[in-house]
Amino acid sequence: MADSSRGTWTGRVGFVLAAAGSAIGLGNIWMFPFRAGQNGGAAFVLVYLAAVLVVGVPLIIAEVMIGRATQRNPVGAFRTLRPRGSWQLVGWLGVASGFVILSYYGVVAGWAMDYAWMAASGSLTSAGVDMQATFDGMLGNGGRQVLWQAAFMAVTIVVVSGGVEAGIERASRILMPLLFGLILMLLGYSLTSEGASEGLSFLLNPRFEDLTWGGVLAALGQAFFSLSLGMGAMITYGSYLAPTESVTRAALLIAALDTALAILAGLVIFPLVFTFGLEPSAGPGLVFITLPSAFAMMPGAAFLATVFFALLLFAALTSAISLLEVVVSFFVDEFEWNRIRASWTAGGLIFALGVPSATVDGFLDKMDLLATNWMLPGGGVFIALFAGWALTRGEAEGGYRGTDGHSGGFVAWRFCVRFLVPVAVAVILLQKTGLVG
Ligand code: PFF
């Protein structure tokens, strides 16, 4: 049933850019720096790197090869490989995760859009603005958040309805180079600022005394979210990939780009925070309160703030596109809807589900906890178990190799998905239930 009407990437570069676009998002720029700041700087970064290599890369490979082998959305992919049994439920969990995550992700991306707008108009960085009050003012205004959320979702829907090649790949080809350009520009500013060495040592010196067991698990959870794993986003993107491309190489590249951007974001943020004597472990407010306070004190404040929030917005957009695409590919494959109808219907429903995240106090955090603590790690365990245990060794090796003929690293990969990934992730889940740690 593989049909070209589903769409395909133009090649490996298109796929890697789109997948890196999915991975690089609010998780890198908003969450990674504050989590590193709160959990021992480089101590957290080291654990994070280990998690990316041992858990992240093997799962990217597992997801991409499942998608590539079946050319189907997550539900169809599991059903194609194992028509009997309940493996399909893993696909359903993935589609549900796409719904849940995008519902609140669209709200936070809407904040980034709102801030980019305020920054460009100069009002964010004009004299005497209290950043805490600005942020609280926005959070207290549900209507304003819903409006920006709607604007962001509309852009996401328009891109996804344009299709795999003309919509998603094209947007990634424009936005990803722009994103790296913007962050390098900001890096120039931050590395030449007075607090550069203090900021760098905050991020790059390991403070193991600040790293708790909870911090280790946060690093693992962060790797999951940041690499877009556990919900079939990489299955979906892999389903548009030709079997001639090497999955291992692509997976390593995607993980490297994602990690580079997270670390770059930290390298931009902390020097500025120290230059202006601000609080480095500020938590979620780091990007919306601390950082704009630093910008406001710099020459070219409006310009810098605009560049930063545009960066945040573009990063969020390419991730939101992949979240929506998981749901859209499900409607297109399973119900044979056309892409335009699927995009607007799914996007509209997700927007509606997101409205309480914008208007009801604490709802956004609950959705985030549900998705990142439970749905993604839960999905990840089952995807690893499927690739490691449900598939025969021959099937797994065939899927891993594709038609490019290389199965280098297969044995190490199989060991990871059979043992390391399920155990590591089971520990995260047990810790959440309070049985461990
Ligand atoms: N990886 C994205 C980020 O770091 O912001 C979030 C994300 C996108 C998670 C797509 C899951 C997903 F399927």
Atom 11 in ligand 1: which residue has the minimum CA distance? 228
C-alpha 23 – ligand 1 centre gap (Å): 5
C-alpha 21 – ligand 1 centre gap (Å): 9
C-alpha 283 – ligand 1 centre gap (Å): 19
C-alpha 234 – ligand 1 centre gap (Å): 10
State the pLDDT at residue 1: 39
State the pLDDT at residue 435: 60
State the pLDDT at residue 38: 87
Specify the pTM.
Answer: 0.95
State the pLDDT at residue 376: 93
C-alpha 102 – ligand 1 centre gap (Å): 9
Tokens of residue 431, six digits: 């810790």
Closest atom of ligand 1 to 231 CA is 13
Atom 12 in ligand 1: which residue has the minimum CA distance? 228
**Residue 278's closest CA among 53, 50, 21, 37?**
37
Closest atom of ligand 1 to 23 CA is 1
C-alpha 18 – ligand 1 centre gap (Å): 12
Closest atom of ligand 1 to 322 CA is 10
C-alpha 20 – ligand 1 centre gap (Å): 10
**Residue 246's closest CA among 53, 400, 18?**
400
Q: Which of 34, 160, 323 to mutate to test the pocket of ligand 1 (most atoms within 8 A of CB)?
A: 323
- The span from the CA of 398 to the CA of 407, in Å, is 9
Residues with CB under 6 A from ligand 1: 22-23, 25-28, 101, 225-226, 228, 231, 233, 319, 322-323
C-alpha 276 – ligand 1 centre gap (Å): 31
Q: Which CATH number fits domain 4-432: 3.40.50.1980, 1.10.4160.10, 1.10.1530.10, 1.10.645.10?
A: 1.10.4160.10
Residue written as token pair 């306070």: 293
SS3 track for the chain: CCCHHHCCCCCHHHHHHHHHHHHCCHHHHHHHHHHHHHCCEHHHHHHHHHHHHHHHHHHHHHHHHHHHHHCCCHHHHHHHHCCCCCCHHHHHHHHHHHHHHHHHHHHHHHHHHHHHHHHHHCCCCCCCCCHHHHHHHHHCCHHHHHHHHHHHHHHHHHHHHCCHHHHHHHHHHHHHHHHHHHHHHHHHHHHCCCCHHHHHHHHHCECHHHCCHHHHHHHHHHHHHHCCCCCCHHHHHHCCCCCCCCHHHHHHHHHHHHHHHHHHHHHHHHHHHHHCCCCCCCHHHHCCCHHHHHHHCCCCHHHHHHHHHHHHHHHHHHHHHHHHHHHHHHHHHHHCCCHHHHHHHHHHHHHHHHHHHHHCCCHHHHHHHHHHHHHHHHHHHHHHHHHHHHCCHHHHHHHHHCCCCCCCCHHHHHHHHHHHHHHHHHHHHHHHHCCCC
Closest atom of ligand 1 to 326 CA is 13
C-alpha 126 – ligand 1 centre gap (Å): 33
pLDDT along the chain (437 residues), means of 10: 73 96 96 90 94 96 96 98 95 98 97 97 92 94 98 98 97 95 92 93 91 88 94 98 90 97 94 88 82 90 95 97 98 96 98 98 93 91 97 95 84 97 88 65
**Residue 262's closest CA among 423, 16, 51, 14?**
51
C-alpha 300 – ligand 1 centre gap (Å): 32
Closest atom of ligand 1 to 98 CA is 13
Q: Where are the domains of the chain?
A: 4-432
**Residue 129's closest CA among 145, 118, 140?**
118
Is residue 156 within 8 A of residue 320, CB to CB? The reply is yes
Is residue 51 within 8 A of residue 220, CB to CB? The reply is yes
State the pLDDT at residue 404: 73
- The span from the CA of 397 to the CA of 379, in Å, is 22
Q: Which of 59, 160, 226, 236 to mutate to test the pocket of ligand 1 (most atoms within 8 A of CB)?
A: 226
Q: Which of 63, 319, 328, 370 to mutate to test the pocket of ligand 1 (most atoms within 8 A of CB)?
A: 319
- How far are the Cα atoms of 41, 129, 303 from residue 122, in angstroms, in the given order? 33, 11, 8
Q: Which of 322, 324, 326 to mutate to test the pocket of ligand 1 (most atoms within 8 A of CB)?
A: 322
The residue type at 171? A
Q: Which of 32, 101, 152, 228 to mutate to test the pocket of ligand 1 (most atoms within 8 A of CB)?
A: 228
State the pLDDT at residue 96: 98
